[in-house]
């Protein structure tokens, strides 16, 4: 059985610093722009074109992106395209396509990065007690809900 896929991977530079906001429910969301350059040859002559994307990163991913990236940072974004309808200030209905990030990282082609691991929270994305990857609570997960990608295995 075939499944539909809507995955996109972008490598480019941030056009503005990530803007971190919080929903009324306290969930973090970061927005930033990204420029992706394409260089190709036509009849032996080099051509260049740039595509611009709006990227949205939720929860810890958004907080980490806002703390780690800035305008001009060469970045890799893996996510999915999502169409969103909205109303502008004049009350006109508009539609836009944006990239909802599943993962973000610095490009190491022309730069070096230092990775700093965050402590994991036992209370989930809305905050609460500071936890971590360890003891208490019984079982291999230490009382926390397993990560949907890694399960009980720590990602590092």
Residues with Cβ within 8 Å of residue 33, at least 6 apart in sequence:
14, 15, 16, 52, 53, 54, 55
Q: Which residues pair with 53 in a beta bridge?
A: 34
Place of tokens 């990775």: 115
Summarised one tens digit per residue, pLDDT across range 87-99 is 999 999 999 999 9
Residue 77 has pLDDT above 70, yes or no: yes
Instruction: Compare 130 and 77 and report the one with higher pLDDT.
Output: 77
Residue 145 has pLDDT above 60, yes or no: no
CA dist., res. 59 & res. 126, Å (int): 8
Q: Which residues pair with 130 in a beta bridge?
A: 121
Residue 133 has pLDDT above 80, yes or no: no
Model-wide pTM > 0.85: no
Task: Give per-residue burial for 119-146: e unless 16+ CB within 10 Å, then b.
Answer: ebbbeeeeeeeebeeeeeeeeebbebee
Q: Quote the distance between the C-alpha of residue 67 and its chain's center.
A: 12
Q: How confident is the model at residue 119 (pLDDT cuts 50, 70, 90)?
A: confident
**Domains (ranges, CATH) in the chain?**
7-106 (2.40.50.140), 117-156 (no CATH)
Instruction: Compare 154 and 46 and report the one with higher pLDDT.
Output: 46
Summarised one tens digit per residue, pLDDT across range 35-63 is 999 999 999 999 999 999 999 999 999 99
């Amino acid at each position: 059985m075939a499944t539909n896929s809507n995955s996109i991977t972008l490598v480019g530079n941030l056009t503005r610093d990530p803007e971190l906001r919080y929903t009324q429910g306290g969930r973090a969301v970061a927005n930033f722009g990204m420029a992706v350059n394409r260089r190709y040859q036509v009849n032996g002559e080099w051509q260049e074109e740039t595509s611009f994307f709006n990227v949205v990163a939720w929860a810890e991913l958004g907080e980490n992106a806002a703390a780690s990236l800035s305008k001009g940072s060469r970045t890799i974004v893996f996510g999915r395209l999502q169409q969103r309808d909205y109303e502008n200030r004049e009350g006109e209905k508009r539609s836009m396509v944006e990239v909802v990030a599943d993962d973000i990282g610095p490009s190491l082609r022309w730069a070096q990065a230092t990775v700093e691991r965050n402590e994991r929270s036992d209370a989930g994305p809305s905050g609460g007690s500071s936890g971590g990857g360890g003891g208490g609570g019984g079982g291999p997960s230490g009382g926390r809900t397993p990560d949907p990608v890694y399960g009980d295995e720590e990602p590092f």
